[in-house]
Chains A and B, each alone.
Chain A
């Protein structure tokens, strides 16, 4: 027997046949496919016990109830809380993506001190000791008023603790970041005498006239407005959206009325004119519950006749008359304003004009109308003992001029602070605390803001994240992230009822962080003297528990307490009526449409920022989930797209996807062009919330920050930020 090549082949064939008849190939194929699913770099969440924590979202002032799903000690999913009066199970994309914020690489992991331009770790005790020493120094020099505090809110125990600290320390300079709340609160106070927050009963209205407000794009409490708008539409209600750009809200409205940007107030006055001229107003409200109607008649006189308004706004006179008739003819009409998500207060007269529209149709403190929601009153701490330094300090004028001669109506004018800081020879702010706010990113003209902040010798950021303001700070004392702490949520923005929510820790703090409330108490104790005496609480949690008293148990269990039977109070003006005119109103300059700053010759276009739900433009930066969810028409790789009307683009020689340079008097940026029929010719629209320089690689360096390109515009009547846009140019790159 000779063994040759054929034997070898035969062996192979036999082996192959035998292998095929054995389980080996079939089993190993199956196993290899499972093995390939279990490569160590394939992320697989560890298994564990599932539990849920009921809490309240604090990422925006919307006050949504949330249910945090945990696996063992990790928060894995945040969902809207079913049955919650504000959001009933719904939640915005930012709230849903919140677990990414909790575990984000941009979290500041412990107290940091800047030494020679670099961050050094420091212990909490040392950081607080050093800051307290610097504050004591300023106080000893008799300059306690040179300490300022910027925060997103001025309500609730956290804000009250910060304000209390400033007060006993001796400074009047607490700042709330600007928003449409400023203008609405002032309008309610001027016309109704009520110190209240504006609630909007969108759900029960049957006609909503929105002046550029993004009802489904973050305006008010985003999830509530989304839900209320849907309920209203399902009940047969109609929505007319007046806006220069076909936003998502406009696209989903029954009518879109394109308007020249910045002239919304003129249209409101035009509608007032038609309603009065045609006698369409609610006579019983005007006659029995209002005063000063004649003054309104005069304000909205011949200069606001439909033809005149048509010239101002670019809307046909017939459309204006029809809109006025449709609004006044509805059973429960509601007019709202505040552009986009309401980040900018806008002109006070503009808000007043819109508010007067509601008054003409009696939609004030009525179902389906604007509701004056009383400010929360559950915080009742004993008045702190003030020493002479503090008493003298708080009597000093505020640095922004709010509440004084120029702007008696405003409470906070943060937009005026950068100029105040840089105008004089010496910088008035010597120490600045920033909590829950990112002014270096979110105020108009970021370069000027950064310049002003660079003149502050001591900036203490209390941010949980390495944001733009934190990056400029001298100390970062990081607060717990929003799923790691107790905090009261005193209201839900724009919600028509008083509601108190409780944010509860879903997980233990991951890093060496300290909640703002605890930091303030610790700092006060380190200061000693009357400052320390004003803070008798052991910890923030103890303070919160004591403050909330009987409501605590319900809040812990349900997450909220709502006043379901709430009835809006009576008007608190001297006349006990709605005042279309009074001495304070008479002092205001006449309405004039705000022009976009800049020279029309060198900047033939107008840039308007817009808001989208898929980008967070407030103090919190967008987590990766949001950036990933952005449309191709908003961001491509790291380049933002601007919306341009095809006709305008043709004139400029630009086409879809063209690389272009967008320039304004404040700066320029590379963008790409997106042709959009839904934007008026001559305009360029850019989304808010991009162009971060801080945070992590998932957000930084993507797109353009609109605030770097626009400049602040001061409303002459109130001092509020009213810059809705700026002149711009777009050239081929």
Chain B
């Protein structure tokens, strides 16, 4: 029965000194935890989250833009029924590239690997959206008269294709969430999430939604 009392006494006697030392350690460990997790969250996590892939062929948009007459729509065209062709198929490229036109190694690779073997190029699409998203290029480009740059940025001026960063969890490109890990954007083409669609739709007071109800609704975009 005496023992607890002794303990209490000894603890009381060394109270002040222990408190000081422990307090420093507590703060230190707090800072360690804080800084460590910030580093993990800001530096390590993005490195782990995204894989880096090169495009199968390094395409030069700028060079092609000089040669075509109709801007982006020369290759990324609308079909007669109004549907959008998206990324060009091999059949389109072959019209000019049945044989290499120059000595650019990327062009030679393209002709040797894909044209001659009649294989479609497995382009990695930076703007690929999930299958549950219905997006009509015709509604935006033809009806709302938007330009390509608003969403896709000045990709037409690029001389080479940037590294494709695939999100290892979702499989989609980093360009959907945006380069900034907080999802902050400075330019309209920095992100392609649903909020970014909504921002423009709400802000521009475009007649947004369903033909029947004239209202916005989930089913306008999520068919």
Contact = CB atoms under 8 A, between A and B. Distances in A.
Interface of A: 1-4, 6-8, 10-19, 21-24, 26-28, 30-32, 34-35, 37-38, 44-45, 47, 49-50, 52
A654 to B, nearest CB: 43
Contact of A2 (B21, B32, B132): B21
Given A1-B21, A15-B33, A23-B181, A34 B172 contact: yes
A31 B167 contact: yes
A14 B30 contact: yes
Nearest to B27: A10
Given A18-B38, A18-B41, A28-B169, A1 B24 contact: yes
Given A1-B24, A22-B40, A45-B131, A34 B35 contact: no
B181 A14 contact: no
7 contacts: A10-B25, A16-B33, A19-B41, A27-B45, A28-B45, A31-B167, A49-B89
Interface string B18-55: 10011011111111111111101110011001000000
Interface size class of B (residues with CB under 8 A): 35 or more
A31 B49 contact: yes
B170 interface: yes
A8 B130 contact: no
B84 to A, nearest CB: 10
Nearest to B21: A1
Given A2-B21, A15-B34, 6 more contacts: A7-B25, A15-B36, A17-B30, A19-B37, A32-B169, A49-B83
Contacts of A14: 29-37
B45 A8 contact: no
Contacts of A19: 37, 40-41
A460 B44 CA distance: 69
Contact of B169 (A3, A34, A49, A52): A34
Interface of B: 18, 21-22, 24-38, 40-42, 45-46, 49, 81, 83, 85, 89, 130-132, 167, 169-172, 177, 181-183
Contact of A18 (B34, B177, B181): B34
Contacts of B42: 22-23
A23 B174 CA distance: 14
B222 to A, nearest CB: 11
Nearest to A12: B33
Given A14-B30, A14-B33, A6 B41 contact: no
A45 B223 CA distance: 13
Contact of A23 (B26, B27, B32, B45): B45
Contacts of B30: 10-11, 13-14, 17
Given A7-B29, A10-B29, A14-B31, A2 B37 contact: no
Nearest to B83: A50
Q: Which of A19, A32, A47, A52 has the most CB of B within 10 A?
A: A19
Given A18-B35, A31-B167, A6 B45 contact: no
Given A22-B40, A34-B172, A27 B26 contact: no
A49 B200 CA distance: 28
Nearest to A30: B177
Contacts of A21: 34, 38, 41
A35 B169 contact: yes
Given A24-B41, A34-B130, A10 B33 contact: yes
Contacts of A30: 177
Contacts of B46: 23
Nearest to B84: A50
Nearest to B42: A22
A8 B169 contact: no
4 nearest A-B residue pairs (beta carbon): A22-B41, A14-B33, A18-B37, A15-B33
Contacts of A44: 131
Contacts, number: 120
A35 B37 contact: no
Contacts of B36: 14-15, 18
A562 to B, nearest CB: 25
A34 B170 CA distance: 6
B137 to A, nearest CB: 13
Contacts of B183: 23, 26-27
Contact of B81 (A10, A13, A26, A52): A52
A12 B36 CA distance: 11
A7 B29 CA distance: 6
Contact of A3 (B25, B89, B170): B25
Contact of A31 (B21, B28, B131, B169): B169
A4 B18 CA distance: 11
A24 B132 contact: no
Contacts of A15: 33-34, 36-37
A12 B32 CA distance: 9
A97 B57 CA distance: 42
Contacts of A7: 22, 25-26, 28-29
Contact of B33 (A3, A18, A32, A37): A18
Nearest to B44: A24
A71 to B, nearest CB: 10
Contact of B132 (A8, A28, A37): A37
Q: Which of B35, B37, B183 has the most CB of A within 10 A?
A: B37
A27 B177 contact: yes
Contacts of B83: 49-50
Contacts of A13: 30, 33
A34 B129 CA distance: 11
A42 to B, nearest CB: 9
A30 B181 CA distance: 12
Contacts of B182: 23, 26
Contacts of B31: 14
Contacts of B172: 34
A511 B18 CA distance: 83
A38 B22 CA distance: 49
A27 B181 CA distance: 8
Contacts of A22: 37-38, 40-42, 45
A18 B32 CA distance: 10
Given A27-B45, A27-B177, A38-B170, A17 B25 contact: no
B179 to A, nearest CB: 12
Contact of B130 (A3, A38, A50): A38
A69 to B, nearest CB: 11
B63 to A, nearest CB: 26
Contacts of A17: 30, 33-34, 37
B26 A10 contact: yes
Contacts of A45: 131
A18 B35 CA distance: 7
Given A24-B40, A24-B41, A38-B130, A2 B33 contact: no
A616 B57 CA distance: 52
Contacts of A24: 37, 40-41, 45
A41 B177 CA distance: 25
A185 B182 CA distance: 76
